[in-house]
Amino acid sequence: MPDRQHRRANSGNDNTSQEHDAILEGFVEQLWQIQESLEHLEAAGCEVSRHEDADHDAEDPKGYNVGDISSSLQLYDFLTKWFNDHPEFLANPFYIGGDSYAGKITPFLAQIISEGIEAGRILPNLKGYLVGNPGTGEIIDFSSRVPYAHGFGIISDQLYETILSHCQGQDYIDPGNAGNVLCAQALNTFNDLIDEVEKAQVLLDSKTDGSDGRRILGEETYGYYLSYFWANDRRTREALGIKKGTVNEWVRCHDKDLPYTGDLSSVIKYHRNLTSRGYRALVYRFTISYSNNMTFATIKGAGHTAPEYEPERCFAMFGRLILNRPL
């Protein structure tokens, strides 16, 4: 995020009224105060990193046999202990946020916290939560990719209509299990086409060099590559307080190579329960609309994990949410 002077200069260049500038200035100052109180907690299964114990091989994920429910309970236990040790923060408004698969964990964790509050336990002042392109545990997590790809022109009208006609209610992940040949063929073609684009950000160019088809590291992918060297650098480890001999190596997770159980089948009921009880929810995915206490918003130009691609816009959105300002 730009420094304060830069933001002030931008506001000064605006031709709007002085009153608008004063409001903007106050909003920016409030955001800086919020930023100083933000806390990031890395959750097992929801983040990209894996810490390898010095006594174990780097490819051995021993000790990380967790799942949706168990990792959520671990987060709950941590928050309970942390706020017991830091009671001065209990009165502060508290929001939980998560993107992608963590968007599935977030409402469940919020539900557990809300139940703890009702039981009279010492817990943060939960006001709501926000999730970006969240998993729900429902079939729509996968079936929604089809209209999405069609809307961006990745698949043809003909293929789109074929899938809608023959795959209604079918397993989009493994359509062959249903014995529907036409559906399986159509989805196989769909998967081949979707593999030609960057799934996390379809607006990016395909990362091939045009000669032997090898993939080239793009700006975002290169950042993932560099994260290994950054995280294992001595200065980073010292800054994070990692004691020598406790953690041998940090490695970035790969798809489906960890013993993690997705044991939350659906979290829709938690969204419904929390919002109906007055907790606020922001889902940044589709066009803006309102229902109960739930707000839907679009971050234009962002990829699947929106804060990674548009951090300033997402931070401004978050600030407006917790300051009760219109998006």
pTM check: above 0.75: no
Using the predicted structure, report yes or no on whether residue 247 has a pLDDT greater than 80: no
State residue 304's pLDDT score.
Answer: 77
Determine the Cα–Cα distance for residues 50 and 42; give it in Å rounded to an integer: 10
Determine the Cα–Cα distance for residues 31 and 21; give it in Å rounded to an integer: 15
User: Which residues, in sequence order, are CB contacts of 270 under 8 Å at separation 6+?
Assistant: 107, 108, 110, 111
Find the mean pLDDT for residues 170-185: 74
CB 195 within 8 A of CB 188: no
Q: Are strands 294-297 and 289-291 parallel, antiparallel or unpaired?
A: antiparallel
Beta bridge partners of 283: 131, 296
Quick one: what percent of the chain has pLDDT higher than 70?
68
CA angle 273, 296, 138 (to 5 degrees): 55
State residue 152's pLDDT score.
Answer: 82
CB 117 within 8 A of CB 279: no
pLDDT band at 4 (very low <50, low <70, confident <90, very high): very low
Find the mean pLDDT for residues 181-186: 88
pLDDT digits (tens, 9 = 90+) for 106-155: 999 999 999 999 998 888 999 999 998 888 887 777 788 898 889 888 89
State residue 158's pLDDT score.
Answer: 94
State residue 58's pLDDT score.
Answer: 42
pLDDT band at 213 (very low <50, low <70, confident <90, very high): very low
State residue 116's pLDDT score.
Answer: 93
Phi then psi for 201, rounded to 5 degrees?
A: -155, 95
**Encoded amino acid at 129, one letter:** Y
Strands of 197-302, DSSP E: 247-252, 260-261, 280-284, 289-291, 294-297
CATH class of 52-137+217-301: alpha beta
pLDDT digits (tens, 9 = 90+) for 277-292: 999 998 886 544 455 6
Take residue 93 and report the two structure tokens written for it: 């408004």
pLDDT digits (tens, 9 = 90+) for 295-325: 888 787 777 778 877 888 888 888 888 788 8
Find the mean pLDDT for residues 170-177: 69
Residue spans per domain, the chain? 52-137+217-301, 140-194
Phi then psi for 190, rounded to 5 degrees?
A: -60, -45
Using the predicted structure, report yes or no on whether residue 273 has a pLDDT greater than 90: yes
